[in-house]
Structure 1
Amino acid sequence: MTRAVSSPSARRFRLRAGTFQRFWCARALASIAFQMLTVAMGWQVYALTHDVFVLGLMGLSQFLPMFLLTLVVGHVADRYNRKRIALACLLLEAALALVFLLSSLGGWLTVPMIFVLAVLLGATRAFEAPCLTALLPSVVRREKLARATTLASSAKQASQILGPALGGLLYARGASLVYFISVLAFVCAAVLIQSLRVRSVPVKPLPVTLAAVFSGVAFIWSEPDMLGALSLDLLAVLFGGATALLPIFASDVLRTGPLGLGVLRSAPAVGALLGSLWMSWFPLRKRAGAAMFAGVIAFGAATIVFALSHRFVLSLGALTLLGAADVISVVVRMTLVQLRTPDEMLGRVSAINSLFVGTSNQLGEFESGLTAGWWGARTAVLAGGVATIAVALLWMRIFPELARVPPLEKQRADAAELQKA
């Protein structure tokens, strides 16, 4: 059995057209399709039920498969060919989008059916995300991973700008059009992944033991900086995320339609894309850990502004600032994972990282829906912003070494020296 690894030949790959750019486009297309599906599913569920709690369950339905499959996914990503797994996931996601399309055209798409498809979509993405992340070292050299990670993050942010806005615009013309475009995007992403030329070498299959399965958890636990960065990002977005409640803000607070919802969903990604591009040209030259804490605090402050806003423009600005602040922790966290994890364990560690991201997003949506049902949407988002700032201040005391993590430029230079040695 073979899989893609960072062999000496593979490390000669550079950030160039034909390899990295196709990888970048594949990730962007897959994320665009997923974002469009998320907008369509959320709007349809809320339109059918007008129930805040049911809307929050949409996030839970995508989180549970990821939570249950995390350890299995990481082991599979390190044991089998990552490129083939990612390709299979993209084709399966295209098939799920096609089911959405056909059921919508036939008029038999119901709320229970949407939840079933959301669970299947979450399970598929549980395999896709860590495989694509672990594939990156086979596309670029190890010492270029810091910049490549930043650019790969910009692909996600670009998709989060286009996806929700495009989803809202197309949904205004009919949900079926959203699902049709999603099918095409997933298929194009699959074609791009299939066309990638990544070096593969024979590897010895990993034994299926509890120690092997849980080795990714043990590795993260042994790295305090990585553990602190992952847990901080998780709790910040878990408490501060207001994404699941945007249909309520768009409909009841700001009085906009599906297009306004799409614009609001895109605003955090606009800020994150601008932040990613800025960091790719002007990397953090002071302590990356301290910048991460500052970004999380700014994230919480922007969340509070959004909760208190009554104006669409101010809400849009707050969400944009929120996204720009969030990208700092994303880049620092992903760089730590990529540079400090051995390639033979990268699949398992990436799977756990994906679980942390999924927990903060999907479980955060459930938490937001639950608290909004108790206190109301505005109070829930306000409390989440305050909690985010409190967590950042607490984590500065629990993980003091994280605040002293060196600049990303120095970390990737150290990684290059280790590879030469």
Structure 2
Amino acid sequence: MVSDLGTWMQAVTVTVLVATNSKSSGATALVFSSLFIPQGLMSPIGGLVADRFDRRRVAMTMQWVQAVLAGVLALTVHSGVTSAYALSAIVFLQGCASSLGNPAFQAMIPLLVPREELLGALSLSGMTWNSGRAIGPMLAAITTSVWGPAASITGNAISFVVMAFVMMTIRRPLHGGGTVKMTQAFGEIGRAIKLAQRTPGTRTMIISTVFVQLCCAMTFSTIPTYAASVTDWERFWMVLYVSMGIGALVAGFCVAGMTALIGRSRVLTLVPLISCFAIFLASQAHSSYLAVIATMLFGMSAPISFITMGAVVQRDAPEQFRGRVLSIYSALVGLAFGGFSIINGYLADKVLGLRTTLWMSSLLLAMYVITVQFLWPSWKQIVNGSDSPPRWRPEALAGLRDRSARVG
């Protein structure tokens, strides 16, 4: 929770700083997505590290690295630098450290909770992130108003230090059990990609996530510029961020119950339709009240979709390769979110305009729902699956195991 608060304080502070100085959706999307694009570059390596070394130590080390980089960013902002490119470069390095540590952190969760409680644990993890999303913008606004943006970013550095000390209290070994040497990194990443392709749940969720990210990235990454298009109140961005965070908190409470009640496939059909309506409403809203309702609905629906998709990947990945499979999934999520944010930001600035781009995003999301419902016959069966461990045929993993044995 503490680390998530700091992360959102920094993300909002830097994004608003760039938006205020540039007045550009593209520049705003660039700096916001710089934290996520590194997932596509470093997560596969992070997954291999998570399977090769103690996951707790890996995650803890990356917390210290991020603390140092947050301190550098705070000093840079304090010196008066507001360039989107300069700030994005530092945020990008933070994203690399986060992407190296996140597969280890995510792969720790199934080792700490029973399999039947995995979705609930992921929901709780998502709730802490979303609590930070709700409270972080308020703290960022207060801290920035009183002490300046550098102080808000310093709060993030402190949160990483706190998180590192918390991880030091975990005494249980959390080794992934892999024996692959780091010199074989690229070969093992290739094998992880093949394994992700062989896993129906992972393969299906990768395709689904890319489509949903295409439609949702714009709404996440351009809140400050969207807020300026609704009202002249300079702090309205804080209201929208908080509204989105409150919706996400509701999502954290609802996702496990919704899945148990109606099943994963219905969740991943009905909830994107709510996101579709929310994005369309945002594109048409010129009232601050409608904008708040739209962002709250979006903040509630989008996390439910992503948590449910992530749970399917967690469910189907073999234990000894889970870190690598999750890293491939995280890599594609990061590339999709970051890339689509920048592309949509460019379209909003140079081609279509912000509101037309949002309207087009809602239309594409509706087309995705129609596709999985009527044109993808096996989608429902794959998504619903079973909560019991999947039975992998020996030949499906033989090549990977043999390779691990040779280089271990």
| CA distance in structure 1 between the aligned counterparts of 2:191 and 2:242, rounded to whole angstroms | 37
1:118-174 deviation per Cα after TM superposition (whole angstroms, max 9, x unaligned): 111121121122111111122112232122122222122212112223223322332
Matched, 1:99 2:72: yes
Aligned to 2:203: 227
Q: What amino acid does structure 2 have at the position aligned with 1:41?
A: V
Alignment of 1:379 onto 2:352: no
Structure 1 stretch displaced more, 41-50 or 185-194: 41-50
Bigger shift: 261-270 or 394-403? Answer: 394-403
Are positions 1:197 and 2:163 aligned together? no
1:255–1:201 distance in 2 versus 1, CA, 3 Å:
closer
* Greater shift in the superposed pair: 161-170 or 337-346: 161-170
Determine if contact 1:166/1:262 at 8 Å carries over to the other structure: no
What one-letter code is carried by the residue in structure 1 that aligns with 2:379? L
Q: Do structure 1's residue 31 and structure 2's residue 8 form an aligned pair?
A: no
The 8 Å contact of residues 31 and 156 in structure 1, kept in 2 or not, is answered as yes
Quickly say closer, same or farther: Cα 1:60–1:281, change in 2 above 3 A. Answer: closer
* Counterpart for residue 188 of structure 1: 162
Aligned length: 387
Q: 1:313 to 1:87 in 2, by over 3 A?
A: same
The answer as to 2:56 corresponding to 1:79 is: no
In 2, the alpha carbon distance for the partners of 1:161 and 1:361 equals 20
Corresponding residue for residue 290 of structure 2: 314
1:177 pairs, out of 151, 157, 160, with: 151
Instruction: Provide, for residues 198-246 of structure 1, a one-character-per-residue CA deviation record: whole Å limited to 9, x for no partner.
Output: 3345945214165422222222212333322232122213223312221
Partner of 1:338: 314
Determine helix, strand or coil for the equivalent of 1:411. coil
Q: Paired residue for 1:297?
A: 273
Compared with structure 1, are the counterparts of its residues 202 and 37 closer, same or farther at alpha carbon in structure 2 (3 Å cutoff)? closer
Asked if the contact 1:42–1:55 (Cα under 8 Å) also holds between the matched residues in 2, the reply is yes
The alpha-carbon distance between structure 1 residues 180 and 254, as it changes in their structure 2 partners (threshold 3 A), is same
Q: 1:63 Cα shift?
A: 4.0
Give the corresponding residue for 2:371: 394
Q: Deviations over 1:18-68 (max 9, x none)?
A: xxxxxxxxxx32222222111111122222323332223224533443222
> Structure 2: how far apart are the matches of 1:72 and 1:285?
37
1:411 to 2:386 alignment: yes
Instruction: Give the CA deviation at 1:305.
Output: 0.5
Which of 122, 137, 140 is equivalent to 1:167?
A: 140
Q: Are the counterparts in 1 of residues 54 and 175 from structure 2 also a CA contact under 8 Å?
A: no
**Structure 1 partner of 2:220:** 243
Question: Structure 2 stretches of 5 or more lacking a match?
Answer: 393-408
CA contact under 8 A between 1:89 and 1:128: conserved in structure 2?
yes
Deviation digits for residues 244-275 of structure 1 (CA, Å, limit 9, x no counterpart): 221112123222323x2122123223212212
* Alignment partner, residue 238 of structure 2: 262
**Which of 8, 20, 24 matches 1:47?**
20
Aligned position for 1:121: 94
Identical counterparts, % of pairs? 19
- Partners of 2:305 and 2:313 lie apart in 1 by 12
One-letter code aligned to 1:379: T
In 1, are the aligned partners of 2:33 and 2:338 still within 8 Å (CA)?
yes
Aligned equivalents of 1:124 and 1:202: distance in 2?
Answer: 19
Distance 1:155 1:75, change over 3 A: same
SS at match of 1:250: helix
TM-score, structure 1 as length reference: 0.84
CA RMSD of aligned residues (A): 2.5
SS of the aligned residue for 2:172 comes to coil
Q: Aligned equivalents of 1:199 and 1:100: distance in 2?
A: 34
CA distance in 1, matches of 2:159, 2:185: 38
For residues 108 and 334 of structure 1, what CA distance do their matches in structure 2 show?
37
Residues 145-154 or 370-379, more deviating? 145-154
Distance, in Å, in 2 between the alignment partners of 1:254 and 1:179 is 26
113 and 128 in structure 1: CA distance in 2 versus 1, 3 angstrom threshold:
same
Q: What CA distance in whole angstroms lies between the structure 2 residues aligned with 1:416 and 1:403?
A: 17
Partner amino acid, structure 2, of 1:134: A
